[in-house]
Amino acid sequence: MTTLDEFMTALTGDSVADAVAEGRCLAAPVGCGAPVFNADGSLRHSDPDDDPEQYVAEWRLTGLCADCQDAHEADEEKAVERHTWACNAYMAHLDLMADLMTGEGE
């Protein structure tokens, strides 16, 4: 299907198409491999206040159950923080370089 899907199939022997067809999350380490729905057909999710339909739509695209989607979102937020930290460190580095250049000129 997609390149990402092919990558995951190579990595885990699993695919989004298989996971969706079987009503489960992708195999570890990408997902948790658990069923996406409860026995009564409702979405299995630790936070019932969230919109289940949005999670089901996302699962059909990514093969990740609601809890794994939340876990990945948390990872993305951490990645953004790291990115901000790296930018700040780079800016501090540029400031330091500018100071050094100025110092040399005097």
Name the residues that contact Zn ion, by CB under 5 A.
Answer: 25, 31-32, 65, 68
CB 50 to Zn ion: min, Å: 15
CB 64 to Zn ion: min, Å: 6
Q: Kindly tell me which of 16 and 31 has the beta carbon lying closer to Zn ion.
A: 31
Q: How many angstroms separate the CA atoms of 90 and 96, rounded? A: 10
**If you ran DSSP here, which 8-state letter would residue 39 be given?**
T
The amino acid at 85: W
Q: Kindly tell me which of 43 and 65 has the beta carbon lying closer to Zn ion.
A: 65
**If you ran DSSP here, which 8-state letter would residue 24 be given?**
B
CB 104 to Zn ion: min, Å: 56
Q: Kindly tell me which of 22 and 81 has the beta carbon lying closer to Zn ion.
A: 22
Question: Residue 76's CB: how many other CB atoms inside 10 A?
Answer: 9
Q: Kindly tell me which of 73 and 99 has the beta carbon lying closer to Zn ion.
A: 73
Q: How many alpha carbons lie under 13 Å from residue 83 in its C-beta half-sphere?
A: 6
The SS3 assignment for 35 reads: strand
CB 34 to Zn ion: min, Å: 5
